[in-house]
Amino acid sequence: MRPPQGKGSRSYAKLPKPPEATPPAEHAEPPPRKPAKRPRARKPAAAPPGARGSDGSRVRVAAWLLLAVAAACLGSGAMLALLEARAAPPAPTARAAPAGARHAPLLTPPAPRSSRGEARPSSPSSPSSPSPPSSLAAARGSPHQPPLAPLRPRACEEWCATHRSAWAVKCANFRSCGGCAQCSAPSSPPPAALHLPPAVAPPAPPPASPSARQLIERLNHRFDHGHPTNDMAAAGVLVRQFDHLSAWDIGEPWLPCPENLWCGRYRFSWPSTIINAQSRKVYYHAGQQRGGLVLALTARVLCVYPGDGNSMGNADNGLAGCIATQCNQFQDWNCVFPPDYLKEALEAQQRRGNRKEHNEVVLDVSSISPSFLPHSILAFFHMGDIGVVRGLQQKFIRAYGLEDWECPLLALNLYDSSRPAFSLETK
């Protein structure tokens, strides 16, 4: 016979179920039984990162060891970078960079999560500030934080170069990389680009002078075919002998006389002569051995005398060596021809025959020297005084940086018609 079981007995649930029997009485009922509680299903706790018991941590540790062995074997900086990227947290998602952008794509930080691991929507009133473009920091997964792993000096310098805008961030690798010390203090900003004005093209150089032999051919052609005409190039060759109305006294007869010398009153005009095959006379004859200059046709003519016009004696009349009386078809002495009457002046010289030896063409010095030097002088010539003229010619080409052929020394022959008037002096 079983002992009576109380309602609160602890061993009631542990006894084996008795065999079914006929209930003792008609109104007897078994004691009520409490329904068994079903155990609540509990979620397994997530293993923290790096826990020894999780499969993911084992895979991560194995990958870490494999990469470490590879880095030790290869000693490559790329492996060290892979180790750092492996140790860093997962990189946030990247937004597509706009077309034409040269820097790395901007990184979007991960959305904040609640304690249950659910993503919380970001507030529209507090937009996330864009991270500074940094290719090296983005590769390590954190655009705002310095790298935590030791870096090589070169990599550290690159990191510092990409974090110059974040001066509040101190360098974490100061002990392992001395180059990162510069990250803790701002450096001077790069100099602004210097905007230079557009380069102005230099003035075109004057046309190159012909060679000495070409010049001699041209001068001899003009001398042989010269005749009375208003065209200076067809009239003959314009020459000027050395005299004391220039800077001869200071050894520079191609310049006007200085104002402080006695000849300063004659510094505005120079006498010259047009020579050709019909007019072989000059002011100083060959026996006086007085060389001179062959002038370019750019010289401006003030007036023309059919003979010696005594321009030196007329220097004080205010007409720069010319006189007021103009020649005409009835009078060709004690008068002057205007520049436009060059043909009439040369014809008057031919009519005189041997009464006058040369014509006198008064030139404006300012159209020759010094503003138009050295191109206003074509050559130097001598008439027996080769030593003196050679020294002056060499001094001239050195003063103006010319080659010898650009302003050569020529020999002038006015008395032997069997030989050319101009020849190259080779002695």
**DSSP per position, 190-220:** PPPPP-PPPPPPPPPPPPPPPPHHHHHHHHH
Show me where the domains of the chain are located.
64-86+135-186, 212-424
Cα angle at 279 between 392 and 248, to 5 degrees? Answer: 20
Q: How confident is the model at residue 334 (pLDDT cuts 50, 70, 90)?
A: confident
In the sheet with 377-382, reading across from the earlier edge strand, the strands are: 301-305, 360-364, 269-275, 237-241, 292-295, 377-382, 409-412, 422-424
User: CA angle at residue 243 from 241 to 263, to 5 degrees?
Assistant: 145
- Contact (Cβ atoms closer than 8 angstroms) between residue 327 and residue 344: yes
14-28, 208-222, 260-274, 380-394: the lowest-pLDDT one: 14-28
Sequence-ordered alpha helix ranges (H) in 129-241: 135-139, 153-162, 212-224, 232-235
Report pLDDT for 23. 52
Q: Which residues pair with 382 in a beta bridge?
A: 411
The long-range contacts involving 85-88, CB below 8 angstroms and separated by at least 24 positions, are 85/139, 85/140, 85/141, 87/148, 87/149, 88/140, 88/141, 88/142, 88/148
Lowest model confidence (mean pLDDT) among 73-82, 174-183, 199-208: 174-183
Closest CA to 389 of 297, 289, 271, 295: 289
Confidence at residue 185, expressed as pLDDT on a 0 to 100 scale = 45
pLDDT of residue 67: 75
Whether the pLDDT of residue 153 is over 70: the answer is no
Note the pLDDT tens digit of each residue in 76-127.
555 555 556 555 555 554 454 444 444 444 444 445 554 444 445 444 444 4
Does the pLDDT at position 396 exceed 80? yes
- SS3 category, 329: coil
Per-residue confidence at 44, pLDDT binned at 50, 70, 90?
Answer: low
Higher-pLDDT residue of 139 and 48 is 48
Report the C-alpha gap between 424 and 390 in whole angstroms.
12
Reduced DSSP (H G I as helix, E B as strand, rest coil) percent helix, strand, coil of the chain, to 5: 30, 15, 60
Contact 109, 92 (CB under 8 A): yes
Name, of 29-33, 176-180, 205-209, the range with top average pLDDT. Answer: 29-33
pTM of model > 0.85: no
* Residue 232, pLDDT above cutoff 80: yes
Q: How confident is the model at residue 328 (pLDDT cuts 50, 70, 90)?
A: confident
Q: Is the pLDDT of residue 394 over 90?
A: yes
Do β-strands 377-382 and 409-412 pair in parallel, antiparallel, or remain unpaired? parallel
- C-alpha atoms less than 13 angstroms from C-alpha of 138 in its C-beta half-sphere: 16
368 is written with which tokens? 């020759």
